[in-house]
């Protein structure tokens, strides 16, 4: 009886243990999957943003970009204003990346990651964030460099995966077409054997290609934990924003986390003025942005809103008139014509004139009023060439930068990483409309003279050549008549 009771107890214990195992919920972590390609694009943008905030690029902005002659002539010679635009553009790029990260974070199982947008906005506006959520949101410099190497590897492998998957799709489509052709072909034995061999070859290629795709999937973002990858890009976004604030001296009264490096290793030339008080004990000092515009006050309208307001062009600029890209194309066309005026035909000249807005046409007519129809002075033509070269020397870089900047932000390129470090203030977007139109008008007046000079010199050369030919023909005719007589 005692044995029977003991057996019943053992059976009951085993049953309960089995039930507990079977009813226990299985927590399976979600992988990145097909979102790997989108996340790889975000990682590429984060890597590019981090690179743009390196000491080398910060020094370049301070010493080279802000000092461009064209920027000083038609954009602004106020260094603080230019640095403010550069900072605002970088912050706007960070904001766009953060929006994408926020959308991905909503899919996370971790509730702390799902609150990324709230924590990020709090950090942007106040310099503080809830670090108890997922540890320290802001990475140290060493940690960020380690993450960057890992993200760079993920981006490279995921890009290779995308390429191999496209190749696999191409091979499968080819196999499908060959199979259809084989089933609908005639009974020609030789033709069928060739098609069958081609099908076999494609099947072998597809088999190898599937193995390559599987291998790349296993080492790419595809099989990684979704939460861990989102955590990586979320913390990188925090760190990049903190680095931007540090580099440009924004919100320097806020208490940054200790993990953020408090000094830039660049030389003291980064700092715009030697007498600036440095409350955070920077080694070289940040690119301090001194703007008196009330819209820039962070605590009034929010950090991102304030920076977005800085990117709104003033009414006197080409950006406000929506003419920046058009004038950039116009300047590039004139640049080509000025380099080879002898190759410019009448039709090309008319096409150029049709590109001019009414304001430049009126200014051009006023400048050309009273000008003679002849252009035969080689000294004056040489002076005009030198003058046009000087104007293009500072105006042309802004026009080319405008085209590069626009192309990198076109719809087709929006998911790709910018290949240049062109900033908006280095383009015609913030250029003064009146000053730019005056420079374009000067180019048109000079081009008009050297174009007519080249045509008249060419016509004169042809006329002299024809005269010489007529003289030679006359002498030959006279000589022939003398011989006959």
pLDDT mean values, one per 10 residues, the chain (485 residues)? 49 50 51 94 94 90 88 93 92 94 94 91 81 69 93 95 94 87 64 79 91 94 95 95 89 43 38 34 42 43 85 94 96 93 85 93 88 74 92 96 89 54 92 96 92 79 59 56 58
Residues present in the chain in total:
485
Residue 48 has a pLDDT of 93
pLDDT, position 150: 95
Q: In the numeric block, which tokens belong to residue 13?
A: 């214990």
The pTM (predicted TM-score) of the whole model is 0.77
Q: Which of 424, 243, 417 is nearest to 325 (CA)?
A: 424
The DSSP string of 49-88 is HHHHTSHHHHHHIIIIITT-HHIIIII-S-HHHHHHHHHH
Rounded to 10°, the helix 433-484/358-368 angle is: 50
pLDDT one-digit tens code per residue, 129-186: 665 555 578 998 899 999 999 999 999 999 999 999 999 999 999 888 888 876 666 5
Query: CA geometry: angle at 19 spanning 16 and 23, to 5°?
Result: 140
Distance, CA of 349 to CA of 438 (rounded, Å): 19
**pLDDT computed for residue 64 by the predictor:** 84
H helices present in 115-140, as ranges: 116-126
Give the per-residue pLDDT at 462.
65
Q: Report pLDDT for 453.
A: 87
366-386: string of b/e by CB count within 10 Å (b at 16+)?
A: eeeeeeeeebeeeeebeebbe
Residue 165: predicted pLDDT: 95
Q: Which two tokens stand for residue 434?
A: 């009146």
DSSP string covering 381-404, please?
Answer: HHHHHHHHHHHHHHHHHHHHHHHH
Collect all residues with Cβ–Cβ distance below 8 Å to 299 and sequence separation of at least 6: 125
Residue-level pLDDT at 256: 39
8-state DSSP, 107: T
Q: Look at residue 189 in the predicted model and tell me its pLDDT.
A: 61
The tokens describing 199, both together, are 């099908």
pLDDT tens for 425-452 read 999 999 999 999 999 999 999 998 898 8
E strands along 328-419, which residues? none
CA distance 286 to 263: 8
């Amino acid at each position: 009886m005692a044995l029977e009771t003991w057996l019943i107890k053992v059976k009951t214990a085993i049953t309960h243990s089995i039930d507990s195992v079977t009813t226990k919920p299985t927590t399976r972590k979600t992988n990145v999957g097909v979102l790997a390609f989108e996340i790889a694009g975000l990682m590429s943008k984060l890597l590019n943003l981090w690179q743009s905030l390196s000491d080398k690029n910060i020094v370049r902005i301070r010493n080279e970009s802000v000092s461009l002659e064209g920027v000083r002539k038609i954009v602004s010679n106020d260094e603080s204003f230019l640095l403010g635009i550069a900072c605002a553009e970088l912050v706007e790029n960070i904001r766009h990346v953060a929006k994408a990260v926020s959308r991905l974070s909503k899919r996370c199982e971790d509730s702390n990651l799902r609150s990324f947008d709230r924590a990020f906005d709090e950090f942007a506006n106040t310099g503080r964030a809830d670090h108890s959520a997922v540890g320290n949101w802001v990475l140290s410099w060493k940690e960020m460099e380690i993450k960057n190497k890992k993200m760079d590897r993920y981006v490279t492998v995921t890009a290779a995966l995308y390429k191999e998957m496209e190749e696999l799709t191409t091979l499968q489509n080819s196999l499908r077409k060959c199979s259809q052709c084989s089933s609908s072909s005639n009974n020609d034995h030789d033709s069928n054997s060739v098609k069958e061999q081609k099908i076999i070859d494609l099947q072998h290629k597809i088999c190898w290609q599937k193995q390559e795709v599987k291998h790349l999937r296993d080492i790419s973002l595809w099989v990684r934990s979704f939460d861990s990858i989102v955590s990586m890009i979320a913390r990188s976004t925090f760190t990049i924003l903190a680095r931007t604030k540090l580099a440009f001296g924004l919100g320097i009264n806020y208490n940054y986390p200790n993990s953020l490096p408090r000094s830039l290793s660049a030389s003291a030339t980064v700092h715009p003025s030697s007498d600036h008080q440095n409350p955070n004990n920077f080694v070289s000092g940040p690119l301090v942005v001194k703007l008196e515009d009330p819209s820039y006050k962070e605590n009034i309208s929010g950090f991102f809103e304030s920076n977005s307001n800085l990117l709104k062009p003033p009414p006197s600029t080409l950006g406000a008139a929506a003419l920046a890209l058009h004038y950039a194309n116009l300047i590039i066309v004139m640049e080509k014509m000025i380099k080879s005026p002898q190759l410019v035909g009448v039709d090309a000249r008319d096409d150029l004139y049709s590109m001019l807005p009414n304001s430049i046409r009126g200014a051009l007519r006023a400048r050309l009023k009273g000008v003679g129809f002849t252009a035969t002075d080689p000294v004056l033509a040489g002076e005009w060439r030198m003058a046009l070269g000087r104007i293009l020397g500072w105006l042309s870089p802004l026009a080319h930068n405008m085209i590069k900047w626009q192309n990198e932000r076109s719809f087709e390129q929006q998911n790709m990483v910018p290949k240049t470090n062109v900033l908006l203030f280095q383009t015609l977007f913030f250029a003064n409309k009146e000053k730019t139109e005056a420079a374009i008008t000067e180019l048109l007046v000079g081009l008009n003279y050297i174009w007519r000079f080249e045509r008249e010199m060419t016509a004169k050369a042809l006329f002299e050549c024809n005269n010489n030919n007529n003289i030679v023909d006359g002498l030959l005719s006279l000589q022939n008549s003398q011989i006959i007589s």
